[in-house]
């Protein structure tokens, strides 16, 4: 069903005073769809509809809303209402929401939280952005190692409703150190008198609060996890991260890489909601940098002006040479950057990758050069030596482009920089200069200019 | 622990005849790590170690191995051993493995499967690649609508061990039509006499067997799912897809987009394992196509040869103009392609996006033009009219580039093509031609050439 239809239906029910049918209806619509239906609508209408939502649904809907709507809703609420909303929300969603709010709203929320929640929120807000700590939730099932299966099941039945997941439970000792995991699957078939220590899986994969979210996501993927425990510097269990948040992280990280690789500063903001100024701000610095770098290529042309003026036809092959170099280089750099990001290639593989790329370059370059040679002979009325000059330049350019396309991202990674900045635009600028240099030198040699 | 160390330790235990300690040790290493340790090792050693693995671990390890090793292992096995291995493996892993095997191995596996498994495998192998059907597993918990909670829990305890997940169970009617879902979380707290129909969530999100995996992945992300039910054309429940497989799909689809956007034919093969010829084969056609297209840009230069020969200095600004155009265009096209892929922009938003991009273009273009104008006046000894010509060309080029970068991917999507092919390389080629055309026309007007 389209968002507009959902909104129309819900609004009509409310306007007709059919609150009972409204509540019945919303319980059958996924919360994310309700949240989207309310997006970019009149704030008063949104607040009014939101307040009519059943309690168990409203917290879910709230967590899917945009910062703007969240703000309008919280500002319209009484302190008690805020408290109830926060009670229903998971801690990771609360923190995500607060990170986007102005100080006034954060203060209102913290004032209305109980002491324990407040100190947890403060703790979570302190973790650096994109760290495991900032991503985790504190609502997980912890079981002491001496618990029996019966006691563990009682514990889950009693407290599970407020937990983000009950399917993997975490076994801890007296010091809250992580010992292992027990799945609910195992609990429901295990004999009731066995202890957690007997049935747990020891040595679980875990993350530290300070780990980067990208590394955590790689472990999720590698080990097919549903959730991962997060421990602090003293190895005490402090939270868990669930796979639904990791799916979002993976898409975010991919989007960031796409943006960096196209010479833009990454942004969390939704494209359609970003202002024109924000977008321009993320793009102009890179365009400027690359424009200035490209003047070096221009300087090479200026240096060989005499060659060009004695044979102006050479100019018309410059775009083809530059584009072919740029495309060959970006094929390689994108391949390398992607494989580095997925952890399938490490910096120590650099010579292996370079050797592979150089052989690919010779094959690609030779084919392109041959096709170009024949094409120029047949369709362009130029001397055979000019065809040869252009074709040899193509071959050399492709080889250099693929070499640079491999070495730059690998080098960036080695230096602790993000390889993604060494993508097509940067490579193109460097390869252009090399391509033209080779072209003119070959022209001087072969054509005696 | 590094893969090499794992392999060394396991090999030493086996060579010392300490099979019991070997089996104890492997049960503490994640299967994926064991599989990776065996990669690219001597086939005999791999087969020997594999046969010593405990049964419950070996199927998991097998599913993480590369096609080459899987083939070596199955070829070394007796029919009975193959059967036991297939019994332990999940159906989706079996199908993934068979898809990579030569006919001989597939035959050996099918011959040793029981009648029911064989027909299920054959059914799953028939679904088109990248469809929900090819991704799903048939090992899920189905509960009839009239089951009580007690009966459902018995059913799960009895059959759950062979299921890929027991955390979401699927409620069906007599015709196996999907009615709803029941989570294990709900089952363990619900009164024992309630029926599935009473406690289920009706109207679950589901997929059809023929749905594209990318669309399925989008639903996982949108609705934070752990698994999704898959129904056939008659709406009967035939399988489920779990989130771990979706995480892989998301990364695969992203990799494909990266490859297409860098003008390569996507490939499932691992980069380091791909032969030089395969890599070249995926790259050469695109390079050729783009090289030939770039000759049109050359033709524009050839057409305005007289302009250039009367003022050769104009040539030296060509690279900067081409690069700036290419970079501006690819910023926009990558942004649009990514947002289309994530479903955050639809083709119906085309005018909204175009309007936004054109305003961004004017801001970016004006800044670049201004900086360039000042730079040329200060550092390059050329006439002020030449600076003006170059700067105005930059402004126009950026505007055209961003327009093209927005319209081409949107147009491709509208025509049912993959927008990713309209990325930087394609845009660059088109923008180059426009940029040079504008440049020469402006030069003729402003400089009176």
How close A331 comes to chain B (CA, Å)? Answer: 5
Contact flag B203-A246 (C-beta cutoff 8 Å): no
**Partner residue opposite A342 with nearest CB, options B189, B244, B251:** B251
With beta carbons less than 8 A apart as the criterion, state whether B99 and B91 touch: no
User: Mutate which of A33, A224, A398 to disrupt the B interface (most B C-beta within 10 Å)?
Assistant: A224
The distance of B429 to chain A (nearest Cα, Å) reads 7
What is the reported pLDDT for A5?
Answer: 83
Q: Do B284 and A364 touch (CB under 8 A)?
A: yes
pLDDT bucket at B238, cuts 50 / 70 / 90:
very high
Q: Which CATH architecture has domain B271-447?
A: Orthogonal Bundle (1.10)
Considering only residues A268 and B322, tell me which one the structure prediction assigns the higher pLDDT: B322
Structure tokens given for A128: 């650096």
Q: Do B222 and A32 touch (CB under 8 A)?
A: yes
Q: Which helix (H) or strand (E) holds B446?
A: helix B424-447
- Do the Cβ atoms of A313 and B305 come within 8 Å? yes
pLDDT band at A1 (very low <50, low <70, confident <90, very high): low
**What pLDDT was estimated at residue B194?**
95
Q: Which of A161, A308, A344 sits opposite B312 (nearest CB)?
A: A308
Q: Please give the average per-residue pLDDT across B245-258, as a whole number.
A: 90
Q: Which residues of B fall within a CB distance of 8 Å from A224?
A: 32, 244, 247
Q: Summarize the confidence of residues B308-325 as an average pLDDT.
A: 88
Model confidence at A372, pLDDT cuts 50, 70, 90, reads very high
Most confident of A249-258, A390-399, B255-264, B299-308: A390-399
* CB count in 10 Å sphere of residue B224: 19
Summarised one tens digit per residue, pLDDT across range B32-85 is: 988 888 887 888 888 888 888 888 888 889 999 988 889 999 999 888 888 888
* pLDDT at residue A273, rounded to an integer: 84
Average pLDDT over chain B, rounded to whole? 90
pLDDT at A367 over 90: yes
| Closest CA–CA distance from residue B123 to any residue of chain A (Å) | 26
A276 chain-B contacts, CB cut-off 8 A:
356, 359-360, 363
Q: Which of chain A's residues have a Cβ under 8 Å away from the Cβ of B247?
A: 220-221, 224, 243, 246-247, 250
Flag if A251 and B250 touch (Cβ within 8 Å). Answer: yes
- What residues of chain B lie within 8 A of the CB of A309, using their CB? 309, 312
Mean pLDDT calculated for residue range B420-444? 88
Choose between A179 and B11: higher pLDDT.
A179
Size of interface A-B (CB pairs under 8 A): 327
**Least Cα separation, residue B315 to chain A (angstroms):** 7
Residue A184, pLDDT score: 95
Lowest mean pLDDT among A59-63, A129-133, B260-264, B358-362: B260-264
Distance from CA of A315 to the nearest CA of B (A): 7
* Tokens (6 digits) for B51: 């046969």
Query: In the structure, what pLDDT confidence band is assigned to residue B350 with cuts at 50, 70 and 90?
Result: very high
Chain B hits for A436, CB-CB cut-off 8 Å, are: 319
- What's the confidence (pLDDT) of residue A87? 86
Q: Domain B142-241: which CATH class? A: alpha beta
**Nearest residue, CB atoms, B344 vs list A270, A294, A372:** A270
Pair B170, B228: CB distance under 8 Å: no
| Cβ contact B294–A345 (<8 Å) | no
Q: Are B49 and B10 in contact (CB under 8 A)?
A: yes
Residue of B nearest to A30 (CA): B223
Contacts of A202 in chain B (CB under 8 A): 28
Contacts of B263 in chain A (CB under 8 A): 327, 330-331
3-state secondary structure chain A: CCHHHHHHHHHHHHHCCCHHHHHHHHCCCCHHHHHHHHCCCCHHHHHHHHHHCCHHHHHHHHHHCCHHHHHHHHHHCCHHHHHHHHHHCCHHHHHHHHHCCCHHHHHHHHHHCCHHHHHHHHHHHHCCCCEHHHHCECCCCEEECCCEHHHHHHHHHHHHHHCCCCCEEEEECCCCEEEEEEEHHHHCCCCCCCEHHHHCEECCCCEECCCEHHHHHHHHHHHCCCEEEEECCCCEEEEEEEHHHHHHHHHHHHHHHHHHHCCCCCCCCCHHHCCHHHHHHHHHHHHHHHHHHHHHHHHHHHHCHHHHHHCHHHHHHHHHHHHHHHHHHHHHHHHHHHHHHCCCCCHHHHHHHHHHHHHHHHHHHHHHHHHHHHHHHHHCCCCHHHHHHHHHHHHHHHHHHHHHHHHHHHHHHHCCCCHHHHCHHHHHHHHHHHHHHHHHHHHHHHHCC
Q: Do B294 and A263 touch (CB under 8 A)?
A: no
Chain A residues with beta carbon closer than 8 angstroms to that of B32: 222-224
pLDDT at B1: 54
Phi and psi at residue A141, to the nearest 5°: -95, 115
Residue of A252, A280, A314, A319 to mutate for B, most B C-beta atoms under 10 A: A319
- B10 token code pair: 């396991």
* pLDDT one-digit tens code per residue, A82-138: 888 888 888 888 988 998 888 888 999 898 888 888 888 888 889 998 899 999 999
Average pLDDT, integer, range A415-437: 87
pLDDT confidence of residue A175: 92
Per DSSP, chain B holds a count of helices (H) and strands (E) of: 22, 7
State whether B250 and A250 contact (CB < 8 Å).
yes
Query: What is the secondary structure of B282-326 as a DSSP string?
Result: HHHHHHHHHHHHHHHHHHHHHHTHHHHHH-GGGGGGHHHHHHHHH
Chain-chain contact of A327 with B243 (C-beta, under 8 angstroms): no
pLDDT, one tens digit per residue, over B351-367 is 999 999 999 999 999 99
State whether B223 and A30 contact (CB < 8 Å): yes
Q: Which residues of A touch B375 (CB under 8 A)?
A: 292, 295
How many angstroms away from the CA of B142 is the closest CA of chain A?
16
Return phi, psi of residue A172, to 5°: -125, 160
Q: Which of A96-105, B279-288, B417-426 has the lowest mean pLDDT?
A: B417-426
Tell me the nearest-neighbour CA distance from B111 into chain A, angstroms.
31
From the CA of A87, how many Å to the nearest CA of chain B? 20
The closest alpha carbon to A353, from A418, A298, A419, A402, belongs to: A402
* Options 3.30.210.10, 3.40.50.720, 1.20.1730.10, 1.25.60.10; CATH of B3-126: 1.25.60.10
Facing B157 at nearest CB: one of A188, A287, A334: A188
CA–CA separation, A151 and A148 (whole Å): 5
Chain A residues with CB-CB distance to B425 below 8 A: 323, 326-327, 330
Give residue for tokens 């000792």: A173
Q: Residue A121 contacts by C-beta under 8 Å, 6 or more apart in sequence?
A: A91, A94, A95, A98, A109, A110, A113
DSSP state letters, B121-152: HHHHHHSPTTBHHHH-BS---EEETT-BHHHH
Q: What pLDDT, in 10s, does the model give residues A150-193?
A: 999 999 999 988 888 999 999 999 999 999 999 999 999 999 99
> Does the structure show a pLDDT above 90 at B113?
no
Tens digit of pLDDT for each residue in B159-189? Answer: 988 888 999 999 999 999 999 999 999 999 9
CB within 8 Å: B312 and A305: yes
The share of chain B scoring above pLDDT 70, in percent, equals 100
Its sign, for the CA torsion B428, B431, B437, B442, is: negative
Contact criterion met (CB below 8 Å) for A417 and A423: no
Cβ atoms of B118 and B110 within 8 Å: the answer is yes
Percent of chain A having pLDDT more than 70?
100
Yes or no, beta carbons of A258 and B338 under 8 Å apart: yes
For chain B, the domains span: 3-126, 142-241, 271-447
Statement: A142-242 belongs to CATH 3.10.580.10: yes
Would the CB atoms of B368 and A270 count as touching at under 8 Å?
no
- Alpha-carbon gap: B266 to the closest alpha carbon of chain A (Å): 11
Mean pLDDT taken over chain A: 90
Q: Is residue B28's pLDDT more than 80?
A: yes
């Amino acid at each position: 069903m389209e968002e507009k239809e959902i909104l129309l239906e819900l609004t009509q029910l409310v306007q007709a005073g059919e609150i009972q049918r409204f509540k019945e209806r919303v319980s059958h619509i996924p919360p994310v769809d309700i949240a989207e239906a309310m997006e970019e609508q009149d704030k008063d209408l949104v607040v009014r509809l939101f307040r009519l939502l059943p309690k168990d649904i409203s917290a879910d809907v709230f967590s899917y809303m945009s910062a703007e709507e969240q703000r309008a809703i919280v500002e319209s609420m009484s302190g008690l209402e805020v408290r109830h909303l926060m009670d229903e929300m998971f801690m990771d969603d609360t923190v995500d929401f607060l990170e986007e709010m102005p100080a006034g709203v954060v203060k209102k929320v913290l004032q209305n939280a109980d002491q324990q929640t407040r100190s947890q929120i403060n703790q979570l807000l302190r973790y650096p952005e994109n760290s495991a700590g900032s991503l985790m939730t504190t609502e997980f099932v912890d079981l002491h190692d001496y618990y029996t299966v019966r006691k563990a099941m009682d514990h889950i039945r009693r407290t599970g409703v407020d937990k983000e997941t009950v399917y993997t439970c975490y076994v801890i000792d007296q010091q809250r150190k992580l010992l292992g995991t027990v799945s609910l699957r195992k609990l429901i078939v295990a004999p009731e008198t066995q202890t957690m220590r007997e049935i747990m899986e020891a040595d679980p994969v875990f993350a530290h609060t300070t780990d980067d979210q990208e590394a955590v996501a790689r472990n999720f993927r590698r080990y097919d996890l549903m959730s991962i425990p997060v421990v602090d510097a003293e190895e005490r269990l402090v939270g868990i991260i669930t796979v639904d948040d990791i799916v979002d992280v993976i898409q975010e990280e991919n989007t960031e890489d796409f943006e960096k690789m196209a010479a833009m500063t990454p942004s969390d903001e939704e494209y359609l909601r970003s202002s024109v100024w924000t977008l321009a701000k993320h793009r102009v610095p890179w365009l400027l940098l690359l424009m200035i770098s490209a003047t070096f290529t221009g300087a090479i042309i200026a240096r060989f002006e005499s060659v060009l003026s004695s044979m102006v036809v050479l100019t018309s092959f410059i775009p083809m040479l530059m584009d072919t170099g740029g495309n060959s280089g970006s094929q390689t750099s994108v391949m390398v950057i992607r494989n580095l990001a997925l952890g399938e290639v490490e910096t120590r593989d650099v010579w292996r990758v370079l050797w592979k790329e150089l052989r690919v370059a010779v094959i690609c370059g030779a084919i392109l050069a041959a096709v170009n040679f024949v094409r120029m002979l047949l369709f362009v009325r130029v001397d055979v030596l000019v065809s040869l000059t252009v074709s040899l330049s193509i071959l050399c350019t492709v080889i250099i482009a693929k070499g640079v396309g491999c070495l730059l991202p690998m080098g960036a990674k080695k230096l602790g920089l993000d390889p993604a900045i060494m993508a097509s635009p940067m490579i193109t600028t460097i390869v252009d200069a090399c391509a033209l240099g080779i072209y003119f030198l070959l022209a001087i040699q072969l054509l005696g200019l």
